[in-house]
A and B are shown apart, each in its own frame.
Chain A
Protein backbone atom coordinates (compact mmCIF):
# COMPACT_ATOMS: atom_id res chain seq x y z
CA UNK A 1 0.00 0.00 0.00
CA UNK A 2 1.23 3.41 -0.90
CA UNK A 3 2.32 5.63 1.90
CA UNK A 4 -0.59 7.64 3.13
CA UNK A 5 1.50 10.60 4.22
CA UNK A 6 4.61 11.07 2.14
CA UNK A 7 7.67 13.23 2.77
CA UNK A 8 6.26 15.61 0.17
CA UNK A 9 2.99 15.92 2.09
CA UNK A 10 4.85 16.79 5.27
CA UNK A 11 6.94 19.29 3.36
CA UNK A 12 3.83 20.83 1.78
CA UNK A 13 1.85 21.03 5.01
CA UNK A 14 4.91 22.59 6.63
CA UNK A 15 4.78 25.36 4.04
CA UNK A 16 1.06 25.90 4.60
CA UNK A 17 1.40 25.94 8.38
CA UNK A 18 4.72 27.83 8.40
CA UNK A 19 6.44 25.19 10.48
CA UNK A 20 10.00 24.09 9.92
CA UNK A 21 10.44 20.58 11.23
CA UNK A 22 13.70 18.82 11.88
CA UNK A 23 14.21 15.49 10.11
CA UNK A 24 13.36 13.69 13.30
CA UNK A 25 10.22 15.78 13.77
CA UNK A 26 9.23 15.10 10.16
CA UNK A 27 9.46 11.37 10.69
CA UNK A 28 7.43 11.66 13.87
CA UNK A 29 4.87 13.89 12.14
CA UNK A 30 4.54 11.39 9.33
CA UNK A 31 3.90 8.61 11.80
CA UNK A 32 1.50 10.63 13.94
CA UNK A 33 -0.47 11.93 11.02
CA UNK A 34 -0.75 8.51 9.42
CA UNK A 35 -1.97 7.00 12.69
CA UNK A 36 -4.43 9.79 13.20
CA UNK A 37 -5.82 9.55 9.67
CA UNK A 38 -6.16 5.79 9.97
CA UNK A 39 -8.10 6.38 13.14
CA UNK A 40 -10.20 9.14 11.56
CA UNK A 41 -11.13 6.67 8.79
CA UNK A 42 -13.59 5.31 11.31
CA UNK A 43 -15.92 8.08 10.17
CA UNK A 44 -16.24 6.36 6.81
CA UNK A 45 -18.31 3.65 8.50
CA UNK A 46 -20.93 6.29 9.09
CA UNK A 47 -23.53 6.95 6.41
CA UNK A 48 -23.81 10.72 6.23
CA UNK A 49 -25.54 10.98 2.86
CA UNK A 50 -28.05 13.76 2.86
CA UNK A 51 -26.90 15.09 6.24
CA UNK A 52 -26.44 18.86 6.30
CA UNK A 53 -22.94 19.74 7.61
CA UNK A 54 -23.34 21.60 10.90
CA UNK A 55 -20.88 24.39 11.53
CA UNK A 56 -22.87 26.30 14.16
CA UNK A 57 -24.77 24.30 16.77
CA UNK A 58 -27.48 26.89 17.37
CA UNK A 59 -29.55 28.67 14.75
CA UNK A 60 -28.35 32.11 15.81
CA UNK A 61 -28.32 34.47 12.81
CA UNK A 62 -27.87 38.10 11.93
CA UNK A 63 -25.62 39.42 14.66
CA UNK A 64 -24.64 42.90 13.55
CA UNK A 65 -22.98 46.12 14.67
CA UNK A 66 -24.33 49.50 13.68
CA UNK A 67 -21.97 51.52 11.49
CA UNK A 68 -20.83 53.87 14.25
CA UNK A 69 -17.23 54.70 15.13
CA UNK A 70 -16.54 53.52 18.67
CA UNK A 71 -12.75 53.23 18.71
CA UNK A 72 -10.24 56.03 19.04
CA UNK A 73 -6.50 56.08 18.59
CA UNK A 74 -5.14 53.01 20.37
CA UNK A 75 -1.79 52.93 18.62
CA UNK A 76 0.41 52.80 21.71
CA UNK A 77 -1.57 49.89 23.12
CA UNK A 78 -1.66 48.06 19.81
CA UNK A 79 2.10 48.38 19.39
CA UNK A 80 2.89 47.65 23.03
CA UNK A 81 3.72 43.98 22.43
CA UNK A 82 5.39 44.31 19.03
CA UNK A 83 8.69 42.38 18.80
CA UNK A 84 9.98 45.13 16.48
CA UNK A 85 8.50 48.50 15.59
CA UNK A 86 9.43 51.70 13.83
CA UNK A 87 7.61 54.95 13.10
CA UNK A 88 4.37 53.76 14.64
CA UNK A 89 4.40 50.60 12.55
CA UNK A 90 5.19 46.93 13.03
CA UNK A 91 8.61 46.15 11.62
CA UNK A 92 9.03 42.97 9.59
CA UNK A 93 11.65 41.53 7.26
CA UNK A 94 11.49 43.01 3.79
CA UNK A 95 8.48 41.68 1.90
CA UNK A 96 9.61 42.47 -1.66
CA UNK A 97 12.68 41.24 -3.49
Chain B
Protein backbone atom coordinates (compact mmCIF):
# COMPACT_ATOMS: atom_id res chain seq x y z
CA UNK B 1 0.00 0.00 0.00
CA UNK B 2 1.57 3.24 -1.09
CA UNK B 3 1.68 6.33 1.06
CA UNK B 4 -0.59 9.32 0.67
CA UNK B 5 1.06 12.42 -0.74
CA UNK B 6 0.08 16.03 -0.70
CA UNK B 7 1.04 18.33 -3.57
CA UNK B 8 2.16 21.84 -2.61
CA UNK B 9 2.02 24.40 -5.38
CA UNK B 10 2.97 28.05 -5.68
CA UNK B 11 2.74 30.06 -8.87
CA UNK B 12 4.82 32.79 -10.45
CA UNK B 13 2.52 34.48 -12.92
CA UNK B 14 3.91 36.94 -15.46
CA UNK B 15 1.43 39.33 -17.00
CA UNK B 16 2.21 41.68 -19.88
CA UNK B 17 0.68 45.05 -19.13
CA UNK B 18 -1.56 46.78 -21.65
CA UNK B 19 0.55 49.92 -21.99
CA UNK B 20 1.08 51.56 -25.36
CA UNK B 21 4.83 51.77 -24.88
CA UNK B 22 7.56 49.69 -23.31
CA UNK B 23 8.51 50.02 -19.66
CA UNK B 24 11.71 52.04 -20.17
CA UNK B 25 11.48 53.56 -23.66
CA UNK B 26 9.01 55.05 -26.11
CA UNK B 27 8.84 51.99 -28.38
CA UNK B 28 5.44 50.54 -29.21
CA UNK B 29 4.34 47.32 -27.50
CA UNK B 30 2.18 46.37 -30.47
CA UNK B 31 2.20 42.72 -31.42
CA UNK B 32 3.23 41.33 -34.74
CA UNK B 33 5.73 43.82 -36.19
CA UNK B 34 8.58 42.55 -38.38
CA UNK B 35 11.63 41.61 -36.24
CA UNK B 36 13.34 44.51 -34.48
CA UNK B 37 11.03 47.17 -35.93
CA UNK B 38 9.86 48.19 -32.45
CA UNK B 39 13.30 48.77 -30.98
CA UNK B 40 15.58 51.61 -29.98
CA UNK B 41 18.98 51.96 -28.25
CA UNK B 42 17.36 51.48 -24.81
CA UNK B 43 15.53 48.19 -25.40
CA UNK B 44 18.44 46.72 -27.36
CA UNK B 45 21.01 47.51 -24.68
CA UNK B 46 23.11 49.91 -26.77
CA UNK B 47 26.09 51.35 -24.87
CA UNK B 48 25.27 54.63 -23.16
CA UNK B 49 21.49 54.24 -23.37
CA UNK B 50 19.48 54.77 -20.19
CA UNK B 51 16.04 53.65 -19.01
CA UNK B 52 13.21 56.00 -18.03
CA UNK B 53 10.20 54.46 -16.30
CA UNK B 54 6.73 54.48 -17.90
CA UNK B 55 4.37 55.90 -15.27
CA UNK B 56 1.44 53.81 -16.51
CA UNK B 57 3.30 50.65 -15.53
CA UNK B 58 3.39 51.80 -11.90
CA UNK B 59 -0.31 52.65 -11.98
CA UNK B 60 -1.28 49.28 -13.44
CA UNK B 61 0.88 47.46 -10.92
CA UNK B 62 -0.72 49.42 -8.09
CA UNK B 63 -4.19 48.69 -9.46
CA UNK B 64 -3.50 44.96 -9.59
CA UNK B 65 -2.01 45.06 -6.10
CA UNK B 66 -5.03 46.83 -4.68
CA UNK B 67 -7.43 44.47 -6.43
CA UNK B 68 -5.60 41.47 -4.98
CA UNK B 69 -5.64 42.90 -1.44
CA UNK B 70 -1.91 43.57 -1.37
CA UNK B 71 -0.11 46.18 0.67
CA UNK B 72 1.55 48.79 -1.50
CA UNK B 73 5.21 49.63 -0.82
CA UNK B 74 5.03 53.40 -0.95
CA UNK B 75 8.80 53.46 -1.35
CA UNK B 76 9.95 50.97 -3.94
CA UNK B 77 12.97 50.52 -6.19
CA UNK B 78 14.23 48.60 -9.16
CA UNK B 79 17.10 46.11 -9.04
CA UNK B 80 19.20 44.46 -11.69
CA UNK B 81 19.01 40.71 -12.16
CA UNK B 82 22.21 39.63 -13.90
CA UNK B 83 22.33 36.69 -16.29
CA UNK B 84 23.60 36.14 -19.81
CA UNK B 85 21.18 35.15 -22.56
CA UNK B 86 20.82 36.53 -26.07
CA UNK B 87 17.17 37.57 -25.60
CA UNK B 88 18.29 39.77 -22.70
CA UNK B 89 20.10 42.62 -24.48
CA UNK B 90 21.89 44.14 -21.49
CA UNK B 91 22.52 40.73 -19.99
CA UNK B 92 20.67 42.01 -16.98
CA UNK B 93 16.95 42.32 -16.49
CA UNK B 94 15.61 45.36 -14.67
CA UNK B 95 13.28 43.90 -12.05
CA UNK B 96 12.43 44.35 -8.37
CA UNK B 97 13.82 42.13 -5.64
CA UNK B 98 14.40 44.08 -2.44
CA UNK B 99 11.45 46.47 -2.47
CA UNK B 100 8.71 45.21 -4.82
CA UNK B 101 5.72 47.47 -5.39
CA UNK B 102 3.11 45.17 -3.77
CA UNK B 103 3.28 42.49 -1.09
CA UNK B 104 1.25 40.35 1.27
CA UNK B 105 -2.08 40.06 -0.46
CA UNK B 106 -4.33 37.26 -1.51
CA UNK B 107 -7.46 36.31 -3.41
CA UNK B 108 -10.33 34.00 -2.58
CA UNK B 109 -11.08 31.06 -4.84
CA UNK B 110 -13.92 28.53 -4.93
CA UNK B 111 -12.82 24.93 -4.43
CA UNK B 112 -14.76 21.72 -4.14
CA UNK B 113 -14.32 22.05 -0.40
CA UNK B 114 -15.54 25.64 -0.33
CA UNK B 115 -13.85 29.02 -0.34
CA UNK B 116 -10.11 29.29 0.15
CA UNK B 117 -7.69 32.20 0.18
CA UNK B 118 -4.52 31.91 -1.89
CA UNK B 119 -1.87 34.24 -0.54
CA UNK B 120 0.10 36.57 -2.77
CA UNK B 121 3.64 37.00 -1.55
CA UNK B 122 4.49 39.93 -3.78
CA UNK B 123 3.94 41.61 -7.12
CA UNK B 124 6.87 43.23 -8.84
CA UNK B 125 7.45 45.16 -12.05
CA UNK B 126 10.01 44.08 -14.62
CA UNK B 127 10.86 44.08 -18.32
CA UNK B 128 10.15 41.27 -20.76
CA UNK B 129 12.90 39.65 -22.83
CA UNK B 130 13.16 39.50 -26.60
CA UNK B 131 12.22 36.51 -28.72
CA UNK B 132 14.53 33.82 -30.03
CA UNK B 133 13.68 32.04 -33.23
CA UNK B 134 15.61 28.92 -34.07
CA UNK B 135 16.77 28.74 -37.62
CA UNK B 136 17.03 25.09 -38.62
CA UNK B 137 18.66 25.80 -41.96
CA UNK B 138 21.67 27.55 -40.60
CA UNK B 139 21.74 25.90 -37.22
CA UNK B 140 21.62 29.24 -35.44
CA UNK B 141 19.19 31.37 -33.47
CA UNK B 142 17.81 34.76 -34.44
CA UNK B 143 17.08 37.47 -31.90
CA UNK B 144 14.13 39.84 -32.20
CA UNK B 145 13.95 42.57 -29.55
CA UNK B 146 10.38 43.74 -30.30
CA UNK B 147 9.18 42.21 -27.03
CA UNK B 148 12.28 43.30 -25.14
CA UNK B 149 11.22 45.89 -22.58
CA UNK B 150 7.50 45.18 -22.74
CA UNK B 151 6.29 45.79 -19.19
CA UNK B 152 5.49 42.80 -17.02
CA UNK B 153 4.24 42.30 -13.54
CA UNK B 154 5.20 39.10 -11.81
CA UNK B 155 2.67 37.90 -9.26
CA UNK B 156 4.25 35.49 -6.82
CA UNK B 157 1.79 33.41 -4.82
CA UNK B 158 2.37 31.69 -1.52
CA UNK B 159 2.66 27.88 -1.75
CA UNK B 160 -1.04 27.66 -0.86
CA UNK B 161 -2.44 25.49 -3.65
CA UNK B 162 -2.86 21.75 -3.32
CA UNK B 163 -4.22 20.60 -6.67
CA UNK B 164 -4.44 21.44 -10.34
CA UNK B 165 -8.06 22.48 -9.81
CA UNK B 166 -7.03 25.05 -7.25
CA UNK B 167 -4.31 26.32 -9.55
CA UNK B 168 -6.78 26.75 -12.40
CA UNK B 169 -9.29 28.46 -10.10
CA UNK B 170 -6.59 30.83 -8.87
CA UNK B 171 -5.37 31.62 -12.37
CA UNK B 172 -8.87 32.14 -13.62
CA UNK B 173 -9.66 34.51 -10.80
CA UNK B 174 -6.41 36.41 -11.30
CA UNK B 175 -7.03 36.64 -15.04
CA UNK B 176 -10.49 38.07 -14.50
CA UNK B 177 -9.33 40.62 -11.96
CA UNK B 178 -6.61 41.87 -14.28
CA UNK B 179 -8.90 41.90 -17.30
CA UNK B 180 -11.52 43.81 -15.36
CA UNK B 181 -8.85 46.36 -14.44
CA UNK B 182 -7.90 46.69 -18.09
CA UNK B 183 -4.28 46.10 -17.05
CA UNK B 184 -3.78 43.23 -19.49
CA UNK B 185 -5.74 40.99 -21.84
CA UNK B 186 -4.17 37.96 -20.07
CA UNK B 187 -4.09 35.56 -22.99
CA UNK B 188 -2.16 32.42 -22.14
CA UNK B 189 -1.86 31.26 -25.73
CA UNK B 190 -0.38 34.57 -26.86
CA UNK B 191 1.92 34.76 -23.88
CA UNK B 192 0.45 37.89 -22.32
CA UNK B 193 -0.12 35.74 -19.23
CA UNK B 194 2.44 33.07 -18.32
CA UNK B 195 2.58 30.87 -15.30
CA UNK B 196 5.57 29.08 -13.83
CA UNK B 197 4.62 26.32 -11.42
CA UNK B 198 6.62 25.68 -8.26
CA UNK B 199 5.70 22.24 -7.03
CA UNK B 200 6.75 19.89 -4.28
CA UNK B 201 5.19 16.85 -2.69
CA UNK B 202 5.22 15.68 0.88
CA UNK B 203 3.67 12.87 2.83
CA UNK B 204 0.19 13.75 3.94
CA UNK B 205 0.37 15.33 7.37
CA UNK B 206 4.03 16.32 7.13
CA UNK B 207 4.78 19.82 8.34
CA UNK B 208 7.94 20.47 6.30
CA UNK B 209 7.77 21.22 2.60
CA UNK B 210 9.50 18.87 0.19
CA UNK B 211 12.10 20.03 -2.33
CA UNK B 212 10.41 21.99 -5.08
CA UNK B 213 10.99 22.26 -8.78
CA UNK B 214 10.00 25.12 -11.04
CA UNK B 215 8.23 24.33 -14.30
CA UNK B 216 8.19 26.68 -17.25
CA UNK B 217 6.67 26.76 -20.73
CA UNK B 218 3.03 26.26 -19.78
CA UNK B 219 0.86 27.78 -22.47
CA UNK B 220 -2.68 26.79 -21.56
CA UNK B 221 -4.78 25.85 -18.55
CA UNK B 222 -4.80 22.29 -19.85
CA UNK B 223 -1.02 22.18 -20.12
CA UNK B 224 -0.77 23.52 -16.57
CA UNK B 225 -3.08 20.80 -15.28
CA UNK B 226 -1.18 18.08 -17.15
CA UNK B 227 2.18 19.44 -16.03
CA UNK B 228 1.07 19.43 -12.40
CA UNK B 229 -0.10 15.82 -12.65
CA UNK B 230 3.06 14.82 -14.50
CA UNK B 231 5.44 16.53 -12.10
CA UNK B 232 3.57 15.25 -9.05
CA UNK B 233 3.87 11.70 -10.37
CA UNK B 234 7.56 12.16 -11.22
CA UNK B 235 8.43 13.47 -7.76
CA UNK B 236 6.44 10.75 -5.98
CA UNK B 237 8.18 8.12 -8.05
CA UNK B 238 11.58 9.54 -7.12
CA UNK B 239 10.68 9.54 -3.44
CA UNK B 240 9.25 6.02 -3.56
CA UNK B 241 12.45 4.85 -5.21
CA UNK B 242 14.37 6.43 -2.37
CA UNK B 243 15.86 9.08 -4.68
CA UNK B 244 16.01 12.79 -4.07
CA UNK B 245 14.08 15.54 -5.82
CA UNK B 246 16.57 18.10 -7.07
CA UNK B 247 15.71 21.78 -6.80
CA UNK B 248 15.82 22.85 -10.42
CA UNK B 249 14.01 24.53 -13.27
CA UNK B 250 12.27 22.17 -15.68
CA UNK B 251 10.73 22.76 -19.06
CA UNK B 252 7.36 21.15 -19.71
CA UNK B 253 6.87 19.53 -23.11
CA UNK B 254 3.13 19.33 -23.52
CA UNK B 255 3.33 17.05 -26.56
CA UNK B 256 5.42 14.47 -24.78
CA UNK B 257 3.73 15.20 -21.46
CA UNK B 258 7.08 15.23 -19.71
CA UNK B 259 9.34 17.85 -18.19
CA UNK B 260 13.06 18.22 -18.80
CA UNK B 261 15.67 19.76 -16.54
CA UNK B 262 16.94 23.06 -17.96
CA UNK B 263 20.13 22.91 -15.96
CA UNK B 264 23.51 23.45 -17.51
CA UNK B 265 26.98 24.11 -16.19
CA UNK B 266 26.72 27.62 -17.55
CA UNK B 267 23.59 28.44 -15.55
CA UNK B 268 24.85 29.25 -12.11
CA UNK B 269 21.47 30.77 -11.13
CA UNK B 270 23.28 33.38 -9.11
CA UNK B 271 21.63 36.57 -10.27
CA UNK B 272 23.78 39.05 -8.34
CA UNK B 273 20.88 41.43 -7.74
CA UNK B 274 21.77 44.99 -6.78
CA UNK B 275 19.87 48.31 -6.85
CA UNK B 276 19.50 49.66 -10.42
CA UNK B 277 21.66 52.82 -10.36
CA UNK B 278 20.13 54.22 -13.55
CA UNK B 279 16.64 54.54 -12.04
CA UNK B 280 15.53 56.54 -9.03
CA UNK B 281 13.18 55.26 -6.31
CA UNK B 282 9.41 55.45 -6.66
CA UNK B 283 7.65 57.23 -3.85
CA UNK B 284 3.90 56.68 -3.84
CA UNK B 285 2.17 59.42 -1.89
CA UNK B 286 -1.07 58.78 -0.03
CA UNK B 287 -2.81 61.06 -2.54
CA UNK B 288 -1.54 59.04 -5.49
CA UNK B 289 -2.60 55.79 -3.85
CA UNK B 290 -6.05 57.21 -3.09
CA UNK B 291 -6.40 58.42 -6.67
CA UNK B 292 -5.62 54.96 -8.05
CA UNK B 293 -8.03 53.44 -5.53
CA UNK B 294 -10.77 55.87 -6.55
CA UNK B 295 -10.23 55.06 -10.21
CA UNK B 296 -10.45 51.29 -9.73
CA UNK B 297 -13.16 49.95 -11.99
CA UNK B 298 -15.90 47.71 -10.63
CA UNK B 299 -14.50 44.21 -10.20
CA UNK B 300 -16.33 40.95 -10.71
CA UNK B 301 -17.56 40.37 -7.18
CA UNK B 302 -19.02 43.86 -6.98
CA UNK B 303 -20.52 43.47 -10.41
CA UNK B 304 -22.22 40.22 -9.43
CA UNK B 305 -23.90 41.89 -6.48
CA UNK B 306 -25.05 44.80 -8.60
CA UNK B 307 -26.45 42.60 -11.37
CA UNK B 308 -28.47 40.70 -8.84
CA UNK B 309 -29.85 43.90 -7.38
CA UNK B 310 -30.40 45.84 -10.58
CA UNK B 311 -31.35 43.24 -13.14
CA UNK B 312 -32.90 40.43 -11.14
CA UNK B 313 -31.42 37.65 -13.24
CA UNK B 314 -30.49 34.18 -12.01
CA UNK B 315 -27.16 33.63 -10.21
CA UNK B 316 -26.13 31.09 -12.81
CA UNK B 317 -26.54 33.66 -15.57
CA UNK B 318 -24.73 36.29 -13.55
CA UNK B 319 -21.81 33.95 -13.14
CA UNK B 320 -21.53 33.36 -16.83
CA UNK B 321 -22.12 36.96 -17.83
CA UNK B 322 -19.33 38.13 -15.54
CA UNK B 323 -16.97 35.30 -16.43
CA UNK B 324 -15.40 37.56 -18.99
CA UNK B 325 -14.95 41.32 -18.88
CA UNK B 326 -15.82 41.40 -22.55
CA UNK B 327 -19.12 39.63 -22.02
CA UNK B 328 -20.04 41.82 -19.06
CA UNK B 329 -19.19 44.93 -21.06
CA UNK B 330 -21.42 43.82 -23.95
CA UNK B 331 -24.17 42.99 -21.51
CA UNK B 332 -24.09 46.38 -19.85
CA UNK B 333 -23.61 48.38 -23.01
CA UNK B 334 -26.48 46.63 -24.73
CA UNK B 335 -28.76 47.24 -21.75
CA UNK B 336 -27.80 50.89 -21.84
CA UNK B 337 -29.15 51.00 -25.40
CA UNK B 338 -32.33 48.94 -25.07
CA UNK B 339 -33.06 48.68 -21.35
CA UNK B 340 -34.07 45.01 -21.55
CA UNK B 341 -31.72 43.16 -19.19
CA UNK B 342 -33.47 39.80 -19.35
CA UNK B 343 -33.70 39.84 -23.10
CA UNK B 344 -30.02 40.80 -23.45
CA UNK B 345 -29.01 38.16 -20.94
CA UNK B 346 -30.94 35.54 -22.93
CA UNK B 347 -29.20 36.38 -26.17
CA UNK B 348 -25.82 36.19 -24.51
CA UNK B 349 -26.55 33.12 -22.42
CA UNK B 350 -28.16 31.02 -25.11
CA UNK B 351 -27.32 31.99 -28.67
CA UNK B 352 -23.95 33.61 -28.03
CA UNK B 353 -22.76 30.71 -25.91
CA UNK B 354 -24.01 28.21 -28.47
CA UNK B 355 -22.18 29.91 -31.31
CA UNK B 356 -18.99 30.34 -29.28
CA UNK B 357 -19.02 26.65 -28.51
CA UNK B 358 -19.69 25.80 -32.12
CA UNK B 359 -16.74 27.87 -33.29
CA UNK B 360 -14.50 26.86 -30.37
CA UNK B 361 -14.05 30.43 -29.25
CA UNK B 362 -13.83 32.22 -25.93
CA UNK B 363 -16.07 35.09 -24.83
CA UNK B 364 -13.05 37.38 -25.27
CA UNK B 365 -13.21 36.65 -29.00
CA UNK B 366 -16.70 38.13 -29.37
CA UNK B 367 -16.62 40.80 -32.03
CA UNK B 368 -20.18 42.08 -32.40
CA UNK B 369 -21.19 45.46 -31.09
CA UNK B 370 -23.84 46.14 -28.47
CA UNK B 371 -25.51 48.53 -30.92
CA UNK B 372 -26.42 45.70 -33.29
CA UNK B 373 -27.66 43.40 -30.55
CA UNK B 374 -29.78 46.23 -29.17
CA UNK B 375 -31.18 46.90 -32.63
CA UNK B 376 -32.08 43.24 -33.01
CA UNK B 377 -33.94 43.25 -29.72
CA UNK B 378 -35.75 46.39 -30.79
CA UNK B 379 -36.84 44.77 -34.07
CA UNK B 380 -38.30 41.80 -32.21
CA UNK B 381 -39.99 44.10 -29.79
CA UNK B 382 -41.78 46.09 -32.46
CA UNK B 383 -42.75 42.84 -34.18
CA UNK B 384 -40.70 43.60 -37.26
CA UNK B 385 -39.26 40.08 -37.13
CA UNK B 386 -40.20 36.96 -35.30
CA UNK B 387 -37.92 34.92 -33.08
CA UNK B 388 -37.04 32.38 -35.71
CA UNK B 389 -35.85 35.05 -38.09
CA UNK B 390 -34.14 36.85 -35.21
CA UNK B 391 -32.02 33.80 -34.48
CA UNK B 392 -30.95 33.65 -38.09
CA UNK B 393 -30.12 37.36 -38.08
CA UNK B 394 -28.20 37.02 -34.82
CA UNK B 395 -25.87 34.48 -36.38
CA UNK B 396 -24.94 37.08 -38.96
CA UNK B 397 -24.47 39.69 -36.25
CA UNK B 398 -22.30 37.27 -34.31
CA UNK B 399 -20.10 36.44 -37.28
CA UNK B 400 -19.92 39.74 -39.13
CA UNK B 401 -21.28 42.33 -36.70
CA UNK B 402 -23.94 43.06 -39.33
CA UNK B 403 -26.49 45.83 -38.89
CA UNK B 404 -29.75 43.86 -38.40
CA UNK B 405 -31.96 46.62 -39.85
CA UNK B 406 -30.06 46.69 -43.10
CA UNK B 407 -29.76 42.93 -43.18
CA UNK B 408 -33.48 42.17 -42.90
CA UNK B 409 -34.21 44.92 -45.38
CA UNK B 410 -31.79 43.46 -47.92
CA UNK B 411 -32.94 39.90 -47.40
CA UNK B 412 -36.66 40.82 -47.21
CA UNK B 413 -37.06 39.13 -43.86
CA UNK B 414 -39.52 41.58 -42.39
CA UNK B 415 -42.57 39.91 -40.85
CA UNK B 416 -45.70 40.09 -43.01
CA UNK B 417 -48.28 41.86 -40.93
CA UNK B 418 -50.79 42.11 -43.73
CA UNK B 419 -53.62 39.99 -42.34
CA UNK B 420 -55.36 39.61 -45.70
CA UNK B 421 -52.28 38.14 -47.41
CA UNK B 422 -51.66 35.84 -44.46
CA UNK B 423 -55.30 34.70 -44.39
CA UNK B 424 -55.25 33.76 -48.07
CA UNK B 425 -52.00 31.80 -47.62
CA UNK B 426 -53.50 29.90 -44.69
CA UNK B 427 -56.66 29.21 -46.64
CA UNK B 428 -54.51 27.68 -49.39
CA UNK B 429 -52.67 25.53 -46.84
CA UNK B 430 -55.92 24.32 -45.26
CA UNK B 431 -57.27 23.59 -48.72
CA UNK B 432 -54.20 21.56 -49.64
CA UNK B 433 -54.15 19.48 -46.45
CA UNK B 434 -57.64 18.05 -45.90
CA UNK B 435 -56.23 15.12 -43.93
CA UNK B 436 -54.70 17.41 -41.34
CA UNK B 437 -57.92 19.39 -41.00
CA UNK B 438 -59.74 16.11 -40.44
CA UNK B 439 -57.16 15.00 -37.87
CA UNK B 440 -57.50 18.35 -36.10
CA UNK B 441 -61.21 18.03 -35.85
CA UNK B 442 -60.70 14.46 -34.61
CA UNK B 443 -58.80 15.96 -31.66
CA UNK B 444 -55.25 15.34 -32.85
CA UNK B 445 -53.66 18.65 -31.75
CA UNK B 446 -50.43 17.74 -33.50
CA UNK B 447 -52.16 18.50 -36.77
CA UNK B 448 -52.41 22.15 -35.69
CA UNK B 449 -48.65 22.31 -35.33
CA UNK B 450 -48.20 20.82 -38.77
CA UNK B 451 -50.45 23.43 -40.35
CA UNK B 452 -48.64 26.28 -38.56
CA UNK B 453 -45.36 24.84 -39.76
CA UNK B 454 -46.57 24.66 -43.31
CA UNK B 455 -47.76 28.22 -43.13
CA UNK B 456 -44.43 29.47 -41.78
CA UNK B 457 -42.66 27.56 -44.51
CA UNK B 458 -44.85 29.15 -47.15
CA UNK B 459 -44.20 32.57 -45.58
CA UNK B 460 -40.47 31.86 -45.50
CA UNK B 461 -40.60 32.38 -41.72
CA UNK B 462 -41.62 35.97 -42.01
CA UNK B 463 -45.04 35.56 -40.37
CA UNK B 464 -45.86 36.49 -36.82
CA UNK B 465 -46.57 33.09 -35.21
CA UNK B 466 -49.25 34.58 -32.93
CA UNK B 467 -51.17 35.92 -35.87
CA UNK B 468 -50.81 32.63 -37.78
CA UNK B 469 -52.30 30.76 -34.84
CA UNK B 470 -55.19 33.17 -34.48
CA UNK B 471 -56.16 33.09 -38.17
CA UNK B 472 -55.73 29.34 -38.45
CA UNK B 473 -58.00 28.76 -35.49
CA UNK B 474 -60.60 31.05 -37.02
CA UNK B 475 -60.50 29.22 -40.37
CA UNK B 476 -60.62 25.78 -38.77
CA UNK B 477 -63.59 26.84 -36.66
CA UNK B 478 -65.52 27.87 -39.74
Q: Do chains A and B touch in the complex (CB under 8 A)?
A: yes
Asked whether, in the complex, the Cβ of A79 is within 8 Å of the Cβ of B55, the reply is no
> Which chain A residues (66-88) contact chain B, with CB distance < 8 Å?
66-71, 73-75, 78-79, 86-88
- Taking CB atoms, residues of chain A closer than 8 Å to B46 are 78
Q: Say yes or no: B36 contacts A78, CB within 8 Å.
A: yes
A17 to chain B, nearest CB (A): 9
Q: Are the CB atoms of B40 and A78 closer together than 8 Å?
A: yes
Q: How far is the CA of A10 from the CA of B276 in the complex (A)?
A: 26
Q: Report how far A73 CA is from B142 CA in the complex, Å.
A: 19
Between A15, A18, A95, the greatest number of chain B beta carbons within 10 A of the residue's beta carbon is seen for: A95
Q: Once the chains bind, are B27 and A64 in contact (CB under 8 Å)?
A: no
Q: Does B184 sit within 8 A of A, measured CB to CB?
A: no
Given contacts A16-B268, A90-B86, A78 and B21 within 8 Å (CB-CB): no
Check A67 against B55 for contact (C-beta < 8 Å). Answer: yes
Query: Which of B41, B56, B58, B280 touches A60 (beta carbons < 8 Å)?
Result: B280
CB nearest to B251 among chain A residues: A96
Q: Indicate if the CB atoms of B36 and A88 lie closer than 8 Å.
A: yes
B21 adjacent to A68 (CB under 8 Å): yes
Interface residue A36 (Cβ < 8 Å from any Cβ of B): no
Are the CB atoms of A92 and B143 closer together than 8 Å?
Answer: yes
Contact residue among B54, B133, B135 (Cβ-Cβ distance under 8 Å from A65): B54
A41 to chain B: closest CB distance in Å?
Answer: 20
Number of interface residues of B (CB under 8 A): 53
With both chains docked as a complex, state the minimum distance between the C-beta of A36 and any C-beta of chain B, in angstroms.
17
With A and B bound together, what is the CA distance between A4 and B142 in angstroms? 42
Query: Are the C-beta atoms of A61 and B282 separated by less than 8 Å?
Result: yes
Majority SS at the chain B contact face: loop
Name the A residues within 8 Å of B141 (CB-CB): 91-96
Given A55-B277, A69-B21, A88-B34, decide whether A18 and B133 contact each other with a Cβ distance below 8 A: no
| A contact patch SS | loop
Closest Cβ of chain A to B184, distance in Å, is 14
Q: Does A56 contact B (CB under 8 A)?
A: yes
- The answer on a CB contact under 8 Å between B36 and A62 is no
Give per-residue flags for B19-47: 1 if the beta carbon is below 8 A from chain A beta carbons, else 0: 11100011110000111111111001010
- Chain A residue contacts of B54, Cβ below 8 A: 64-67
Q: Which B42-85 residues have C-beta < 8 A from chain A?
A: 44, 46, 52-56, 58, 77, 82, 84-85
- Among A63, A69, A91, the most chain B Cβ lie within 10 Å of the Cβ of A69
Residue of B nearest to A12 (CB): B268
Instruction: Tell me if A89 counts as interface (CB < 8 A to partner B).
Output: yes
Contact call B52/A63, Cβ cutoff below 8 A? yes
Q: Is the CB of A65 within 8 A of B86?
A: no
- Cβ-defined contact, B84 with A18, below 8 A: yes
With A15-B265, A15-B268, A89-B35 given, is the CB distance from A71 to B25 under 8 Å? yes
Going nearest first, the 5 A-B pairs with the smallest beta carbon separation are A70-B26, A89-B142, A64-B55, A67-B56, A90-B143
Could you list 8 further interchain pairs (A-B, Cβ under 8 angstroms) beyond the known A64-B55, A69-B20, A89-B144?
A: A16-B270, A55-B277, A61-B280, A62-B280, A63-B280, A66-B54, A88-B34, A93-B140
Interface residues of A (CB under 8 A from B): 12, 15-16, 18, 55-56, 60-71, 73-75, 78-79, 86-96
